[in-house]
Amino acid sequence: MIDIPSFADVVVARERIAGYVHRTPVHSSSTFNALTQAEVFFKCENLQRVGAFKARGACNAVFALDEEGLARGVATHSSGNHGAAVALAAMIRQCPAYVVMPSNSSEVKRAAVRHYQANVVDCEPGMRAREDALAKVVEDTGAHIVHPYDDSMVIAGQGTAALELMEEVEKLDVILVPVGGGGLLGGTLLAAAGFGAGTRVIGVEPRQADDARQSIHSGTRVVMDSPDTVADGLRASLGVRNFALIHGHVEDIVCVEESEIIAAMRFVWERMKLVIEPSSAVPVAALLHHRLELQGQRVGVILSGGNVDLDSMPW
């Protein structure tokens, strides 16, 4: 029996992390609306602390620990944003943090983790190597694992972004969410179901990392090892809790091509003047490239993060 979070956990999370994370603004673009024939509201989690929504889940998970747990510290594996988020949360609570990072993580993301005074532990790319390295850290330190997505506290924390968005923008027909391990999607589903405005939720992922679509369509959790996509935040496969939350509840999972992700990212930089990372551009691409039939609808999009290496643009 696994623990699965509920809407009540999202509401508690919001109280627990208030004052430590930003209530991020919502942007819109008349040009984007004209191109997509929809009314689109962008929740700017790229403007969140650590530059990504991950601050929400990590703060919720770390702040929920008792004194003994805090003394032993926290550990995680992450290609970047979640690592920085756990490091930030641990710094706020003044507890030790250990972050396992694959060798292909971007330098910007590694620097962020170090900035928050966490210990960076290197490993090879791939989920197996990450989990092995993390197990060793836990054996050595007794630290509490804050999993990047397969963790009830993390999922509940991520759901607070959608909760804020639905409070600010009335009568949203649908929210689009990028899908990696399913933390943000799981939390968003909880928030939408509990909020009670009838808002649907659709996940979007890179076709080259389409484990979630395969999982939902087949009814069995599919795991891909090290998929190749420019959306470096979405290389993980759905976790156990995430699959349980998503299967049967998400309206659909749609996919976009790499070139579409890059074009959408460029559009947001060039026209909306917002720095977003490729993962954020995935749901934007689904709209811009008409992968969804949402004409005339009020659409929320969670811009998940904005951490990029400015020395290596994808265009």
Is residue 68 near a copy of itself by the rule CB under 8 A? no
Is residue 266 near a copy of itself by the rule CB under 8 A? yes
CA 2/CA 239 separation, integer angstroms: 12
**């007794």: which residue's tokens?**
142
Taking CB under 8 A as the criterion, the residue among 3, 67, 68, 270 binding a copy of itself is: 270
SS3 10: helix
Tokens representing 190 are 């909880």
**Nearer residue to a copy of itself within complex by CB, 36 or 106:** 106
CA 15/CA 156 separation, integer angstroms: 12
How far is residue 313 from each of residues 61, 162, 263, 302, measured CA to CA in Å?
Answer: 33, 29, 12, 22
Taking CB under 8 A as the criterion, the residue among 67, 139, 170, 311 binding a copy of itself is: 311
Is residue 273 near a copy of itself by the rule CB under 8 A? yes
Q: Which residues contact 83 (CB under 8 A, 6 or more apart)?
A: 76, 77, 99, 100, 101, 105, 109, 112, 113, 118, 120
**Nearer residue to a copy of itself within complex by CB, 73 or 305:** 305
**Nearer residue to a copy of itself within complex by CB, 202 or 230:** 230
**Nearer residue to a copy of itself within complex by CB, 56 or 130:** 56
Taking CB under 8 A as the criterion, the residue among 8, 15, 23, 25 binding a copy of itself is: 25
Is residue 34 near a copy of itself by the rule CB under 8 A? no
Count the site residues for a copy of itself by CB under 8 A. Answer: 20
In the complex, what is the shortest distance from the CB of residue 37 to a copy of itself, in angstroms, rounded to a whole number?
A: 19
Is residue 47 near a copy of itself by the rule CB under 8 A? yes
Residues 99/121, Cβ–Cβ less than 8 Å: yes
Taking CB under 8 A as the criterion, the residue among 70, 135, 138, 274 binding a copy of itself is: 274
CA 40/CA 4 separation, integer angstroms: 31
Is residue 57 near a copy of itself by the rule CB under 8 A? no
Angle formed by the axes of helices 54-63 and 152-168, nearest 10°: 130
| Positions in the binding site for a copy of itself (CB under 8 A) | 25, 27, 44, 46-47, 51, 108, 266, 269-270, 272-276, 306, 310-311, 313, 315
